[in-house]
Amino acid sequence: MHIEEVIIDGFKSYRHRTVVSGFHTHFNAITGLNGSGKSNILDAICFVLGITNLKHVRAQNLQDLVYKKGHGGVTKASVTIVFDNKDKETSPANYEAFDQITVTRQIQIGGTNKYLINGRNVDKKRLNALFLSVQLNVNNPHFLIMQGRVTKVLNMKPPEILSLIEEAAGTKLFEISKKESFSMIEKKDKKLNEIDSVLDEEVEPKMQQLKKERSAYLEFQKNQQEIDIRSRYVTAYHYCCNKSKYDAMSAEFVVVEKVMLDFNKRKSELVLQLKDTEQNLEILRKKKEAEIGGGLRDLDKEVQSISKKLVTETASVANATDTLNSETLAVAQFEESEKEALEAIEAKKKELEKAMNDLGPIEQAHITAAEGMEKAKRDLQAVRAGMSTGESDNASSFDDTIRQAENEQAAAESERQTRQMKVKHATAELKTKKPQAVQAEKTHGSATRQLKEKHSQLELMRTQLQVLPFDKDAYDTLNNERKVLADRVRQLENTFESLKSENRGFTFNYSDPEPNFDRTKVHGLVARLIQIANENVTGALEVAAGGRLYNVVIDSQETGAKLLKRGRLRHRVTFIPLNRIAARTITPQQLQRAKQLVGVENAELALTLVGYPKDIEKAMQYVFGTTIVCTSAQAAQKVTYDRDVRTRCVTLDGDVYEPSGTLSGGSNRNKSSVLQRLQKLNQAEEEFTQAARELADLDAKLEMCTQQKTHYSETAAALKNLQYQYDLLDKTIRSSPHGALIQEVADLEKAIADHTEAIQHATHQLKTAAARIEEVEKERKAFVNSRESQTEKMEKLLALQRKASQKATQKFKAHKEVIDGLELELQQMSNDHEGFDAQKADLKASVEKAKANLTARQQKLLQIEADYDSANERLQKKREKLDETDAEMKKMAATKAKVEKEQGDLEIENKTAMHRKSRMQSELKDQADSVKHLLLSNVWITKEEHLFGNPGTTYDFQNGQDPHESEVELQRLKAMQEGLKGQVNMEFGPDVPPFTRVFVFEAEMRKGDVTNVSLDIHAPLRAQLEG
């Protein structure tokens, strides 16, 4: 396909329609004068081909392409190119049927821009596709070769030339199309994902919601019908019951009014009778007061008060006397025990000292006897075997010893001669080569010195590597231990978190009230701070602490104020500030008295049954310091109400006895103890914390080992590298002639030194062997003369030594056991005696205190007895005068009491009747109002009242459904209906079919969003969209 002609109209300098024809198939050139419009013809061709960069056609905008920019009376520009399309092989796709293809582009002032192919309007995209199909791309930077461009092409680098070839061949166009296709596919995928997201997140949940709403509405409608039926039935029953009650109560009200009239009549009679009796009694009372002068009551009170003091003080004196006697006896017994203990200790010390003095000789005799027996055994064996014995106790036969010495002598002589010969040859060779080596050392000595330095470095690095504290086995062991410990920490953490979630209410959570707040100021809940060793007392301790168990212990009231103000507490909290809390505990005397009453094992102070950190002792005293835990109710009762104790007690079952007389309990026996659960939580926390701490320590050790391993590996690698350098340098030196010569001289010197040392050693061996032979010869001659007598002598000596050794051993062991026993007994006695002084001082102080107390009590008792005798005498005289008057007054008082009792009984009956009448009036009104309300609120009752209670009707209350069960069912249905109201969508009705709604989602399709998509929830949308 090639150009046949170009038709230009209104384009740049061509005002009128101009036809340029006569184009050659392969090569064309345009010539003419300057300004004749040659370049404008090329611009017109590029204009039609769809050039986008207007700078290539020397224009700023499309309006510049119109003749004189539209000011010359021409408002549009048009260029048409006629292509020859007879060659079908190069024809554009889908245009094979056309022999000519006409392409036109028009622009008009104001913005219209049209493209035409064979006279038909097309868009720019289709036009570009036409030209790209025949590999024409006007926007290719190499499409137009301008002046000077050829030189630039010749100077291009290979990548630029490749790009030029790709542009010319048209392959780059396919790359661009490929990128555009991928971009479009990515946008489509994004749109599809967004539609899927809308379906999953909005449409499908809405469908499920509509299903639930329909089901709820149907249930609601069904319940409402059942409620209406049962409501009528129950209402009818209530109406009948209320009406029946009203009729019965009206008749009873008349009877009550008649009874009240009788009561009022009898009441008036009793008032008159009581008035007469009181007047007579008052006359007698005045007579009595006149006789005694009104002082009897005060005198009686005085006598009673003194009597109580007398009884109390008598008991106190008796108790003080018993206390003094018991304390005095305890001191005497203690002093006697102390004296006996001191005497026993001194006796035991003397016995031990004597035994220790005797041990030295016995032990030395034991060692000497054992050594003598062993030496006798060795000597006897040597004599029997015909061997010699020496100082070293090594025995051998005389011939073997001599033969061995001669062999050593011959070997040493041979070795000496061989070495002397080697020294001679080496010395002669060294004399020749050493001057040569000295000269070579001077000429080529740097390499040798470098080799020596390398060798020194190697030795130093080997020493450093040996002293490095890295042990691979220990490192592997630590890794294995860490795995096991990490698994254990995870298990303990899971257990702790599980128990923590079960006891979530016993965690005190708060926010820091200020930056850098010190959390150690908040110790925590009392229940979490204590440890209990005996689980049997957890229930009692929980009751003893009560609400204080949930208080929070803090260091000061300032910390509490900060937490209350800015700690963001979730609920009310009671704080126990350690600097302000008034801690109080019962006295030791009270506790001792309690234990005397019920036994030491049956009463304990609650504070002593819990463990806690020392710094929160005041808080623990505040919580547990004033309560005693008793094992039984009887023990608690004795302790609580004893006048010397008077302290609150709690039994193991949780029953509380107060000194004021109140008693509470009974509800804790079958309940699981909170403290038991918290003890498990605390134990789990402690185990987890300990394991985590061990893991952290192990990690620190492992980290240190890892660093040591790294250092060891680095040092080993450096040593290997240095060894390689040394070997390479040594090999180089040895391979060179001068190096080989120097090394040969060094080897000769070393060999001469070794041979000389070996010669000296062989000479010494020769002398030693000769002396040994001479010594053995002498011993053999002496042994032959005395062998039999020596054997007999040695046997006797061995028997004596064995018997002496056995006896010494037995004596030593027995004496050692005696000393061990004495030391153990003395240690125990000394430990027991250490606390005697403090105990003795306490006992004497208790005796003095008891004496002073007894003296004071006795003096007080004498004074009280004298006061009692005086007051009692005066009281007896007064009472004698009142006996006659009292008898008469008692008679009158009995009459008055009888009348008052009858009057009181009558008043009670009257009030009962009045209350009954008032109640009946109220009930009658309520019944009447109830019947009236039922009639007004249920109009249908008037029409159907004749059916209520009749057999065979809907309102058959006896044979039909039980009214009470119907009422219960009605309440259940109403409650269910109330619950359904919040779930029912009242837009649903019986005629509205579910699931017919259409959801529409609109968004901008630009930027990858969905637009104008209507989704019917009945349609298989996902399949359609994916298709």
**Residues counted in the chain:** 1027
Give the position of tokens 């008037």. Answer: 942
Kindly report the CATH number that applies to the domain delimited by 2-138.
Answer: 3.40.50.300
Q: Which of 926, 960, 929 is nearest to 233 (CA)?
A: 960
The pair of structure tokens assigned to 564 is 């209350």
Q: Is a pLDDT exceeding 60 seen at residue 1006?
A: no
DSSP 644: T
| Least confident window among 776-780, 806-810, 903-907 | 776-780
Kindly indicate the confidence band of residue 138, based on its pLDDT and cuts at 50, 70 and 90: low
N-terminal to C-terminal alpha carbon distance within the chain: 41
Residue 855: its pLDDT value, please?
A: 85
Kindly indicate the confidence band of residue 384, based on its pLDDT and cuts at 50, 70 and 90: low
Kindly indicate the confidence band of residue 392, based on its pLDDT and cuts at 50, 70 and 90: very low
Kindly indicate the confidence band of residue 80, based on its pLDDT and cuts at 50, 70 and 90: very high
* Alpha-helical runs (H) found in 147-203: 149-154, 158-169, 171-198
Q: What percent of the chain has pLDDT over 90?
A: 6
Q: Which of 655, 667, 665, 659 is nearest to 631 (CA)?
A: 655
Residue 292: its pLDDT value, please?
A: 57
Residues 14, 40: contact at Cβ < 8 Å? yes
Higher pLDDT pick, 910 / 291: 910
Q: Is a pLDDT exceeding 70 seen at residue 988?
A: no
Residue 895: its pLDDT value, please?
A: 79
CA distances from 443 to 389, 440, 447, 739 (A): 65, 5, 10, 11
Mean pLDDT highest for which of 41-50, 262-271, 806-815, 993-1002? 41-50
CA distances from 736 to 424, 448, 724, 739, 815 (A): 28, 11, 18, 5, 82
Q: Is a pLDDT exceeding 60 seen at residue 999?
A: no
- Regarding the domain delimited by 503-671, which CATH topology (the fold level of the hierarchy) does it fall under? Alpha-Beta Plaits (3.30.70)
Long-range contacts of 88-93 (CB under 8 A, 24+ apart): 90/1, 90/134, 91/1, 91/134, 92/1, 92/130, 92/133, 92/134, 93/133
Residue 218: its pLDDT value, please?
A: 80
Backbone angles phi, psi at 867, to 5 degrees: -60, -40
Separation of alpha carbons 198 and 1002, rounded Å = 11
Which of left, alpha, beta for 520 (phi over 0: left; psi -120 to 50: alpha)?
alpha
| Least confident window among 289-298, 496-505, 637-646, 816-825 | 289-298
Q: What is the DSSP string of 249-276?
A: HHHHHHHHHHHHHHHHHHHHHHHHHHHH
The pair of structure tokens assigned to 39 is 């370049």
Q: 791-814 pLDDT, tens per residue?
A: 677 777 777 877 777 787 777 777
Q: 865-881 pLDDT, tens per residue?
A: 788 778 777 767 776 76
Residue 340: its pLDDT value, please?
A: 74
Ranges of beta strands (E only) in 817-938 are none
CB atoms under 10 Å from CB of 261, counted, come to 8
List % helix, strand, coil for the chain (3-state, nearest 5).
70, 10, 20
Residue 746: its pLDDT value, please?
A: 77
Mean pLDDT highest for which of 124-128, 319-323, 549-553? 549-553
Contacts of 879 (CB under 8 A, 6+ apart): 296
Residue 220: its pLDDT value, please?
A: 78
Residue 996: its pLDDT value, please?
A: 38
Mean pLDDT of 949-977: 75
Q: Number of C-alpha atoms within 13 angstroms, CB side, residue 788?
A: 1
Kindly indicate the confidence band of residue 1005, based on its pLDDT and cuts at 50, 70 and 90: very low
Q: Is a pLDDT exceeding 90 seen at residue 554?
A: yes
Kindly indicate the confidence band of residue 758, based on its pLDDT and cuts at 50, 70 and 90: confident
Separation of alpha carbons 100 and 82, rounded Å = 7
DSSP 503: T
Give the position of tokens 């500030």. Answer: 577
The pair of structure tokens assigned to 680 is 């498990």
| Least confident window among 385-389, 506-510, 588-592 | 385-389
Q: Number of C-alpha atoms within 13 angstroms, CB side, residue 286?
A: 6
Q: 217-229 pLDDT, tens per residue?
A: 787 777 777 777 7
Residue 465: its pLDDT value, please?
A: 78
Is residue 856 helix, strand or coil?
helix
Residue 412: its pLDDT value, please?
A: 82
Q: 812-863 pLDDT, tens per residue?
A: 777 777 777 777 677 766 766 666 676 677 777 777 887 888 888 788 878 8
Kindly indicate the confidence band of residue 420, based on its pLDDT and cuts at 50, 70 and 90: confident
Amino acid in position 925: K
Q: Is a pLDDT exceeding 60 seen at residue 307?
A: yes
Separation of alpha carbons 224 and 228, rounded Å = 6
Kindly indicate the confidence band of residue 345, based on its pLDDT and cuts at 50, 70 and 90: confident
The CA-based angle 707-710-713, given to 5 degrees, is 150
The H helix count followed by the E strand count for the chain is: 22, 20
Q: Is a pLDDT exceeding 60 seen at residue 1003?
A: no
Q: 913-934 pLDDT, tens per residue?
A: 787 778 887 877 887 888 778 7
Q: 509-523 pLDDT, tens per residue?
A: 888 889 889 989 999
Kindly indicate the confidence band of residue 170, based on its pLDDT and cuts at 50, 70 and 90: low
Residue 278: its pLDDT value, please?
A: 77
Amino acid in position 46: C
Q: 877-902 pLDDT, tens per residue?
A: 776 766 667 677 777 777 777 777 77
Separation of alpha carbons 335 and 341, rounded Å = 10
Residues 986, 216: contact at Cβ < 8 Å? no
Higher pLDDT pick, 318 / 39: 39
Contacts of 626 (CB under 8 A, 6+ apart): 584, 585, 586, 647, 648
Please state, rounded to an integer, the average pLDDT across all residues of the chain. Answer: 77
Q: Is a pLDDT exceeding 70 seen at residue 525?
A: yes
Q: Which of 601, 583, 584 is nearest to 647 (CA)?
A: 584
Separation of alpha carbons 116 and 105, rounded Å = 6
Mean pLDDT of 352-365: 78
Q: Which of 787, 781, 543, 579 is nearest to 671 (CA)?
A: 543
Cβ-based burial of 130 (10 A; exposed 0-12, middle 13-18, buried ≥19): buried
Q: Is a pLDDT exceeding 60 seen at residue 990?
A: no
Pairing between β-strand 575-577 and β-strand 552-554 as defined by DSSP bridges: parallel
Q: Is a pLDDT exceeding 60 seen at residue 1020?
A: no
CB atoms under 10 Å from CB of 453, counted, come to 12
Q: Is a pLDDT exceeding 50 seen at residue 394?
A: no
CA distances from 197 to 248, 297, 375, 1022, 1027 (A): 74, 100, 103, 11, 17
Topology agreement, domain 2-138 and domain 503-671: no
Biggest alpha carbon–alpha carbon distance for the chain: 173
Contacts of 912 (CB under 8 A, 6+ apart): none
Residue 79: its pLDDT value, please?
A: 92
List the chain domain ranges: 2-138, 503-671
CB atoms under 10 Å from CB of 857, counted, come to 18
Separation of alpha carbons 343 and 336, rounded Å = 11
Residue 619: its pLDDT value, please?
A: 92
Mean pLDDT of 412-431: 82
Separation of alpha carbons 537 and 653, rounded Å = 9
The pair of structure tokens assigned to 14 is 């061509």
DSSP 14: B
Long-range contacts of 472-476 (CB under 8 A, 24+ apart): 472/709, 474/705, 475/702, 475/705, 475/706, 475/709
Mean pLDDT of 960-980: 76
Residues 711, 468: contact at Cβ < 8 Å? yes
